[in-house]
Amino acid sequence: MIDLLDPIRHSPKLPDLIRELEAYWQAEQEKRHAFWADHDEGQKAEFIEGEIIYHSPVYGRHWKVSTQILRYLIPYVYEHQLGDVAVEKVMIRCTRNDYEPDICFWTLEKSQNFQLKQSAFPPPDFIIEILSESTEARDRGIKMTDYALHGVQEYWLIDADNQALEQYLLQGEAFVLNQKLKSGAIASQVITGFEISLAQLFEGF
């Protein structure tokens, strides 16, 4: 494994680099706190690596897939008292970045402590992101890395254009592809007993 800090440790400019990084971190955190204070509840936005990312209204394919999942997921989770499901506008706070995943799930052990006036939440146990041209690089990049580092156990990427689903499971501090499907059914490893077929997922497409 490559040690990214090794060149810094051995640099003659180590003190200067530390000061520069501390100043960068402080400026980023000030911008992040301003984002929290000014964030419009009606606007989907995320804070990623010091930048505020605003999201455009979604296409029909996006909300159709989201609706199909929730049609089966929410009743199942609440009928079996497994935890809580959240959609779109719920802020997930990680160490450095803040995200609003398309769909996420927390186990009952975590969610039973949530408050009604709470506006930011810990990383969930299971996340679904629905890919689009504007978000795919982040969904496969920084988000996948950050979700894994913060203990998200299962991650689904759904490609509505190609009617495909990728299921990733956490191993150590990284996600490993468990399966990629264009037909058949997918069973969650985190939400015990929950299964959905791709025919159900892409019904009406």
| Domain layout of the chain by residue ranges | 6-53, 56-201
- What's residue 180's pLDDT? 97
Residue 190 identity (one-letter amino acid): V
d(CA 103, CA 89): 9
140, 198, 201 from 185: Cα distances, Å:
22, 6, 9
Count helices and strands in the chain by DSSP H and E runs: 7, 13
d(CA 84, CA 75): 11
Query: Mean pLDDT, to the nearest integer, of 90-119?
Result: 93
In CATH, 56-201 is 1.10.10.10: no
d(CA 44, CA 100): 7
Stated pTM of the model: 0.88
Query: Mean pLDDT, to the nearest integer, of 85-102?
Result: 93
